[in-house]
Amino acid sequence: MSNDNTLVLGATGKTGRRVVARLRLRGTPVRPASRSGQVPFDWSDPSGWDAALTGVDAVYLVAPQVPGPAPDFVARAEAAGVRRLVLLSGRAADDWGDSGFGLDMLSAEEAVRGSALEWTVLRSNNFQQNFDEELWHAPLVAGELALPADAVPEPFTDVEDVADTAVRVLAEPGKHAGRIYELSGPRAITFAEAVGMISSASGLPMTYRTISPAEYTRNLVDDGVDEDVAHHVSAMFVMMERGPLATTTDGIDTVLGRPPRPFEEYVVRAAAAGAWSGR
């Protein structure tokens, strides 16, 4: 089997499916993998990993949601002859301190950065698409987003920029070896400002309200989110209020040679596609 395949984990997710589409368009042989993806891959079932890794040159790695499996996966990738790893991680991972947030991504970073393979880490701010493809979508459709975030702003990153960056790194072997890129949007805005823009562009009434981390955790659990996951998401907001994610970075410009896409562009695109109106 030829050794030019790119294995994309999390291939049905927000970044993975965009990475897959871009690689296909470039003519790069790609293996889209996840539990429900074209190539079966389950973090909780290591017996299937070797088949996914056979004949693979590079891996786009979306971390498992628990700290355990990444080191074993990276060791198996090395043994299978993989040469390069591009890991998606979270912005300012060095500054999360003892917040308890991101142990999954920190464990994956440790495994990737400690490996003998050529590696690159992409650390992104919260995605702009969290407002229409993730946890913040349903509350917005219902008319109110309530989060434990107040005046500390965030330069949300467009997932399209994350995918562009990942694909550029995958297409340029050697150039990004051992680099950690912090990927932010071009301007930090508060959640209240973000919701204001979404409400304006979509023509729908939406409000933003600041609540306590404890109230947020309770709301998530009431909405059916697993209790551990709810605590983890709340811990992220507590960490964010200290400010480590609030500044802009030049990571996207450094890799792509152009500025990141602004939040306004995302909002217009998503509103026109009916993201918040159920069209």
Ligand X SMILES: NC(=O)c1ccc[n+]([C@@H]2O[C@H](COP(=O)([O-])OP(=O)(O)OC[C@H]3O[C@@H](n4cnc5c(N)ncnc54)[C@H](OP(=O)(O)O)[C@@H]3O)[C@@H](O)[C@H]2O)c1
Query: Where along the sequence are the contacts to ligand X (CB under 6 A)?
Result: 10-16, 34-37, 41-44, 62-63, 88, 90, 105, 124, 126-127, 130, 134
233 close to 220: Cβ distance less than 8 angstroms:
yes
Least Cβ distance, residue 118 to ligand X (angstroms): 21
The nearer residue to ligand X, 2 or 36, going by C-beta atoms, is 36
> 226: burial class by Cβ within 10 Å (0-12, 13-18, 19+)?
exposed
The nearer residue to ligand X, 90 or 213, going by C-beta atoms, is 90
Residues 261, 142, 145, CA angle at the centre, nearest 5°?
A: 55
Least Cβ distance, residue 13 to ligand X (angstroms): 2
The nearer residue to ligand X, 124 or 217, going by C-beta atoms, is 124
Least Cβ distance, residue 48 to ligand X (angstroms): 10
Residue labelled with tokens 């919701």: 195
The nearer residue to ligand X, 89 or 199, going by C-beta atoms, is 89
Least Cβ distance, residue 90 to ligand X (angstroms): 4
CA dist list (Å): 46 to 11, 68, 229 = 17, 11, 23
Q: How far apart are CA 60 and CA 166, in angstroms?
A: 8
| Closest CB to ligand X: residue number | 13
51 close to 57: Cβ distance less than 8 angstroms:
no
